[in-house]
């Protein structure tokens, strides 16, 4: 990798140069540093063409991006829920470091503790080095944290941020979730993701005097699974292949695993089978994925038509995985493969080529990697591995299993072969992905695998920040209790 000149501007330096956009240092900065374009896609699991996650999926534009990019086939989220996962990626602090284990309002992140108060959001780090930063859509949990971008284009989506919505729900009317599915509205132009793609395209058509850090936070395929009819037509219901499901799947998991993953407002697979709605749900999810793929394609077209096509690094990631009938559920929020595995595709600005990485990586690695690809100095306060090592040399030894945390001291570790889960009460799960990709057979009690468990246990975190009262999960009784306890302690 080419080593670029590194320098940092302090706050005073930024203030002094902000009024002088034509100074020589800005021209030199634009010449030397890569632009960054980031796509953050809500609830996007591995059902994209480059990962082969579902036979009916149609994602030609993500495939186009992947055609000359690095596809991380074994990428996992720091948390299996939107709020804590995004906060971790964008602050560089894992949930066990920050205490943000569940959802949090964007303007509360800085109030949690000294670690979050002193963290530098990824976008801010690029701004500190002279970048123009701009974003639109759902980037943090709600929108964009205060002060995180020079320009923020809004989130859209009406009340709740996931619209537009029909006057009445179509298929699922439970409180505590936006879950629903069906063809709505009439046109793409009414969808916030379409509007976000237009906004991003406009940004790419502008003349920029600085390198840019540009982020698009796309809402679909987050529920409700509503997109116009034409996207449903691309996935005929009669052709839909259902995911594998075993009704007794959870018989060999610890009781705590069932408790922390229980989400009563979400559909169960048994309900979907009994009501003959399973294929309808899969069709709707796939329609949403194909729709958001088209929105991403619109932005990629704009980049290719711009003057920035040859000097822009691109990263696409989903914030976690999603079950669509596997393990009896339609949701996220657990420590199994379907909730933790997520797309991660990175295209360097220069010397890009298609390659596949099977070593385990984490979304926490995005921050240090994009900083490195841009040629900026390392932020030493950020957790994560610089993946340029793997991009430059996929065959190197990579000893790091990837960590996912769901609540205090509930962790999952994934290496190239095994998933090891340890809960706060000491109970365990272990799965061998060489012959059990659906994680149906818990091997944790088999003494033949004790050495495997001991090896992975060495990577469990020893730091467990207390649950912040600013973070909570209303949809699960186990975590709702922890939220209330934390809030009561704050009031004492």
Which pLDDT tens digit goes with each residue over 277-310? Answer: 999 999 999 999 999 999 999 999 999 999 999 9
User: What's the domain count of the chain?
Assistant: 1
What's the mean pLDDT in 408-423? Answer: 98
pTM: 0.94
Is the residue at 426 inside a domain?
A: no
288 catalytic? Reply is no
Q: Is the pLDDT of residue 162 over 70?
A: yes
pLDDT in tens, 191-243: 999 999 999 999 999 999 999 999 999 999 999 999 999 999 999 999 999 99
Give percent of the chain above pLDDT 70. Answer: 93
C-alpha R_g of the chain = 22
Q: Is the pLDDT of residue 72 over 50?
A: yes
pLDDT reported for residue 367: 98
CATH number for 57: 3.40.720.10
Is the residue at 411 inside a domain?
A: no
Higher pLDDT pick, 16 / 418: 418
Is the residue at 22 inside a domain?
A: no
pLDDT reported for residue 352: 85
Where does the pLDDT of residue 159 fall: very low under 50, low under 70, confident under 90, or very high at 90 and above? Answer: confident
pLDDT reported for residue 28: 65
Is the residue at 398 inside a domain?
A: yes
pLDDT in tens, 195-208: 999 999 999 999 99
Domain that holds residue 204: 34-404
pLDDT reported for residue 19: 35
Is the residue at 75 inside a domain?
A: yes
Where does the pLDDT of residue 412 fall: very low under 50, low under 70, confident under 90, or very high at 90 and above? Answer: very high
What's the mean pLDDT in 249-272? Answer: 97
pLDDT reported for residue 301: 98
| Whole-number average pLDDT of the chain | 93
C-alpha closest to that of 36 among 314, 366, 387, 310 = 314
Catalytic residue among 54, 129, 141, 226: 141
Where does the pLDDT of residue 20 fall: very low under 50, low under 70, confident under 90, or very high at 90 and above? Answer: very low
Q: Which of 64-73, 347-356, 357-366, 418-427 has the lowest mean pLDDT?
A: 347-356
C-alpha closest to that of 310 among 258, 272, 276, 352 = 352
Q: Is the pLDDT of residue 5 over 60?
A: no
Is the residue at 325 inside a domain?
A: yes
pLDDT in tens, 430-489: 999 999 999 999 999 999 999 999 999 999 999 899 999 999 988 999 999 998 988 888
141 catalytic? Reply is yes
Catalytic residue among 54, 76, 82, 103: 82
Q: Is the pLDDT of residue 16 over 50?
A: no
Cα dist from 322 to 44, 80, 358, 465, whole Å: 7, 9, 20, 26
Is the residue at 24 inside a domain?
A: no
pLDDT reported for residue 12: 29
pLDDT reported for residue 27: 60
pLDDT reported for residue 157: 85
Where does the pLDDT of residue 11 fall: very low under 50, low under 70, confident under 90, or very high at 90 and above? Answer: very low
Is the residue at 435 inside a domain?
A: no
């Amino acid at each position: 990798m080419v080593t670029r000149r590194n320098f940092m501007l302090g706050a005073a330096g930024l203030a002094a140069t902000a009024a002088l956009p034509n100074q020589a240092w800005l021209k030199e900065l634009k010449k030397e540093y890569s632009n960054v374009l980031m796509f953050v896609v809500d609830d996007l699991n591995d059902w994209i063409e480059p990962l082969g996650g579902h036979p009916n999926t149609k994602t030609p534009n993500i495939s186009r991006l992947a055609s000359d990019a690095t596809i991380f086939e074994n990428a996992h989220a720091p948390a299996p829920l939107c709020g804590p996962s995004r906060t971790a990626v964008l602050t560089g602090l894992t949930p066990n470091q920050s205490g943000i284990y569940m959802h949090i309002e964007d303007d509360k992140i800085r109030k949690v503790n000294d670690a979050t108060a002193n963290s530098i959001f990824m976008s801010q780090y690029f701004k500190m080095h002279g970048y123009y930063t701009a974003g639109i859509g759902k980037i943090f949990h709600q929108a964009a944290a205060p002060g995180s971008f020079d320009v923020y284009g809004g989130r859209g989506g009406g009340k709740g941020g996931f619209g537009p919505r029909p006057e009445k729900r179509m298929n699922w009317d439970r409180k505590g979730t936006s879950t629903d599915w069906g063809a709505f509205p009439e046109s793409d132009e009414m969808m916030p993701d379409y509007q976000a793609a237009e906004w991003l395209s406009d940004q790419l058509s502008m003349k920029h005097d600085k390198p840019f850090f540009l982020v698009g936070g796309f809402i679909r395929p987050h529920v409700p699974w509503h997109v116009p009819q034409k996207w449903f037509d691309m996935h005929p219901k009669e052709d839909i292949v259902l995911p594998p499901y075993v009704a007794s799947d959870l018989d060999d998991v610890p009781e705590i695993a069932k408790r922390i993953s229980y989400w009563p407002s979400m559909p169960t697979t048994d309900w979907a089978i009994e009501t003959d709605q399973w294929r309808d749900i899969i069709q709707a999810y796939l329609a949403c994925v194909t729709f958001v793929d088209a929105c991403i394609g619109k932005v990629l077209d704009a980049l290719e038509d711009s003057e920035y096509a040859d000097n822009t690094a691109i990263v696409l990631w989903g914030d976690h995985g999603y079950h669509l009938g596997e393990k009896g559920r339609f949701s996220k929020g657990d420590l199994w493969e379907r909730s933790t595995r997520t797309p991660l595709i990175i295209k360097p600005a220069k010397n890009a080529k298609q390659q596949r990485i099977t070593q385990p990586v984490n979304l926490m690695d995005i921050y240090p990697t994009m900083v490195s690809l841009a040629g900026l100095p390392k932020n030493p306060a950020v957790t994560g591995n610089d993946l340029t090592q793997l991009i430059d040399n996929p065959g190197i030894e990579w000893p790091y299993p990837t960590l996912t945390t769901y609540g205090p001291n509930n962790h999952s570790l994934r290496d190239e072969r095994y998933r090891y889960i340890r809960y706060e009460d000491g109970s365990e799960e272990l799965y061998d992905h060489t012959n059990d990709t659906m994680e149906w057979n818990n091997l944790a009690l088999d003494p033949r695998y004790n050495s495997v468990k001991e090896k992975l246990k060495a990577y469990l975190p020893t730091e467990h920040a207390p649950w912040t009262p600013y973070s909570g999960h209303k949809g699960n009784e186990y975590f709702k209790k922890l939220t209330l306890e934390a809030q009561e302690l704050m009031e004492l």
